[in-house]
Amino acid sequence: MPADVTYLGAGAVRELAARLGVRPTKTWGQNFVVDANTVKRIVRLGQVGPDDVVLEIGPGLGSLTLGLAAEAAAVYAVEIDPVLAAALPGTLAAYAPARADRVHVLAQDALTLTDLPQPPTRVVANLPYNVAVPVVLHVLGRFPTIERVMVMVQLEVAERLAAPPGSRTYGAPSVKAAWYGHARLAGTVPRSVFWPVPNVDSGLVSVDRQAPPTAPVAREEVFAVVDAAFAQRRKMLRSALARMAGSPAAAAVALEAAGVDPTLRGEQLDVAAFARVAASLRHMGPVVHG
């Protein structure tokens, strides 16, 4: 780790917040990391190297940004809170003077991010917990150059993203993450590394990009089938997809054509099976009522 970066400890984080008049808000999921070892661990697990262009969502006071600046070629830090976004360049200049110019701060909602000046190769972030899943899915969909995601999220969300078919926590986020790559729980994080201390446990989850299933169907169509299947989680697929197919019988035909037993539930299907079902539903053409 280069020596020209000073990490933020608990004292520095509180002092910075006080100076800026920042009172952490739950609305934006503001729990700041106050532990250098946690920052170093996340950067290491993110496999950030000197060629990487990192997208960081929610840099906050800059705890993780400093660790990323120490390793990456460039960091794009997207922060929704205008006060935090405005303060970040000053913090970087003070705590990582030789590396501050490689960090670019964008004051905006990550969910509206559509372009970056350089194609990102990594997403590394301590995410705001209330929008963690939509943010991860949005950036994976928007930036195909991202090879690896390493994010800290609520432990329950990390488990859901990484859950295999058939498990209790497997749901729409698991299938959608699997569309983009291989998601894996990479560890847990104690509550004590945050200020303020959150009232939920945290975990690290990685997604390594893989090619999506080969089916003649758009991602949006597959995701629509996934949403329909999990909207009525307890229902058999032939019922859950009835509205989409036109009737339970039509859904059963489409499922069978995709090689899927119509009496299964969504939680038993992997992403490749969902892609086959979406392709088969589309093959049936527009639904004719009457």
Interface residues toward ligand SAM, by CB under 6 A = 28-33, 57-61, 63-64, 78-81, 84, 109-111, 126, 128, 131
Q: Nearer Cβ to ligand SAM, position 106 or 250?
A: 106
Distance CA 182, CA 56 (A): 20
Measured CA to CA in angstroms, residue 238 lies from 36, 175, 216 at distances of 51, 19, 22
Residue 30 or 174: which CB sits closer to ligand SAM?
Answer: 30
Closer by beta carbon to ligand SAM, 30 or else 91:
30
**Residue 68 Cβ vs ligand SAM, minimum distance, rounded to whole Å:** 10
Distance CA 200, CA 108 (A): 26
Radius of gyration, CA atoms only, the chain: 21
**Closest to 49 in 3D by CA, of 156, 132, 124:** 124
Alpha-carbon dihedral sign for residues 49, 50, 54, 59: positive
Least distance in angstroms from the C-beta of 56 to ligand SAM: 7
| CB of residue 85 to ligand SAM, shortest distance in Å | 9
* Residue among 150, 151, 148, 178 at smallest CA distance from 164: 178
Residue 58 or residue 266: which is nearer to ligand SAM going by CB?
Answer: 58
Residue closest to ligand SAM (Cβ): 58
For residue 41, give the nearest of 203, 273, 238, 170 by alpha carbon.
Answer: 203
CB of 35 to ligand SAM, least distance (A): 10
For ligand SAM, the closer of residues 160 and 238 by Cβ is: 160
* Cβ–Cβ under 8 Å, residues 100 and 59: no
Question: From the CB of 64, what's the least distance to ligand SAM, in Å?
Answer: 4
Distance CA 91, CA 61 (A): 8
Shortest approach of ligand SAM to residue 203 CB, angstroms?
13
HSE-CB of 271 using CA atoms within 13 angstroms: 24
> For residues 96 and 279, which CB has a smaller minimum distance to ligand SAM in the complex?
96
